[in-house]
Structure 1
């Protein structure tokens, strides 16, 4: 892997991301056991509409494309919001292209996201990880993220 960099996503790239982003989010909701597939699709649709009323141009949302040299390796969607103690970032989506996973790109994107946020005076970053995504959970723990809440369930 060469030098990873984050660049603002183009609106054209956002449109391609948006076509599959909601669907993948619904799949994660369903595969985690949070909701059955139909309700997961409805929640994903509602969440995207609520979070991004102006789509690509929604204030406070930063859509970034990750490159390793000239090759696109993933995407990052951050929301920056000022709170009483400073600017906070929430990572809504963080993805490495499937065929490039397990090669260090995820770690590199996460580290680049921290640099991006520090440059914008962000005091804390948060994200959500579905319980069945053990690889992502392990990576974030290695990077110093700590759980702030844990939702558990037992199938009967």
Structure 2
């Protein structure tokens, strides 16, 4: 696959933000963490706090993933210098829903790793919702390890 990452344009970012907060809120609800009204408010606050200046927010980089000319997904990384070197945190590794299970997710992660190595990043972290077994399996196959597990029991 000839996947490539290109910096997200302003137009792409606006489209992304239209759907990303709601998608995040639905995932929070699906995880059992909180009901929809609270999840929507959390999503709004998290996005505003993380990306107050949109694409111009310092330390954050967002890309659109392409397979040929087709947009297949997106990547959002935060870069932060720590005492042992530059770290990246993946806030969003995503493939368009209708294109999943075709190797695009793996290709986006591989592209992110190449990009991070070029930047001198020493580690990439991410968060994945517990119910998202497909993503969890892919991340484990790609060498990611669990560092914390949050659990809930519904009564």
Question: Normalising by the residue count of structure 1, what TM-score does the alignment of the two structures yield?
Answer: 0.97
Query: 2:75 maps to which residue?
Result: 76
CA distance in 1, matches of 2:93, 2:143: 17
Q: Kindly provide the CA deviation profile for residues 55-98 of structure 1, in whole angstroms up to 9, marking residues without a partner as x.
A: 11100100001000111100011000111111100000111011
State the number of aligned residues.
155
Moved over 6 A (4+): none
CA distance in 1, matches of 2:112, 2:34: 30
SS at 1:152 equivalent: coil
Per the TM alignment, residue 4 of structure 1 is displaced from its structure 2 partner at its CA by 0.5
The 5 Å alignment of 1:1-150 reads 2-150=1-149
Structure 1: gaps of 5 or more residues: none
Question: Normalising by the residue count of structure 2, what TM-score does the alignment of the two structures yield?
Answer: 0.98
Per the TM alignment, residue 103 of structure 1 is displaced from its structure 2 partner at its CA by 0.4
Structure 2: gaps of 5 or more residues: none
